[in-house]
Structure 1
Amino acid sequence: MPKDLPDSVADGATRDAERVYRCAACAHEVTRGRWEMAVDGAHERAFFNPAGRVFRVLCFKEAPGAAGVGPATTEFTWFRGFAWRFAVCRGCGAHLGWRYEGDSAVFFGLIKPALAAGSD
């Protein structure tokens, strides 16, 4: 069974490259520690949406177990220069976060409580 995520990650630090991040709803593998990345200086960020709901987001270069759905928009983007679309679990369809798309890069901002971390 996957373990809970730790409370924080040192900026720019990569934890165990083989750490597995799974969907907290269905345990489908979403991404791995080797794809952790810092965006604007931090791997973990806190944001609020227009309704005032706060999200703790972890950033990843790749998330093969997540699919971007819906049209991309720049409305209320948390990352300047990036459009976003929802990211859902390829296993169960649960909302995991967002897929960010820029001119030269794509990355995922995944909701920390929507993930469970552990090893194979």
Structure 2
Amino acid sequence: MKLKQITEVRYITRDWDRSTVKRVVKKLTNGKFVRKNSGPNTFYYNVPDIEYALDNLNVQFGEPATKGHYRTSQGDAAYYIWVVSGWKFKLSAMDMKLEVWPSGDISDKHNHFRDRYDR
């Protein structure tokens, strides 16, 4: 299957709402939503094919903002994180899971941490 960008995603500039995030993840990864682990703003997906998901996320969002790995009893577990439109996408290769949660707003208008300590 040839990889291509989702046009509805490419032209969204504002923060995504929850339904947009769910639709995007479903199209890019063929992931299955895990309802029992997911909360109001954090979503978990079981991803059937990590290579397919990784390729599609790279095509859609570019290179990951963060790459890393950690040791487990089964070996190295790699993970990739993208930050897109107010959301973080973390793909864990060994667990075959995708976790999505709000990244927060780094603009001055909404940065409450800066407002509190700059006075």
Structure 1 or 2, whichever has the larger Rg, is: 2
Question: TM over 0.5, yes or no?
Answer: no
TM-score between both structures, scaled by the size of structure 1: 0.36
Give the structure with the higher percent strand.
1
More helix by share: 2
TM-score, with normalisation over the residues of structure 2? 0.36
Q: Which of the pair has the greater relative contact order for Cα pairs under 8 Å at 6+ separation?
A: 1
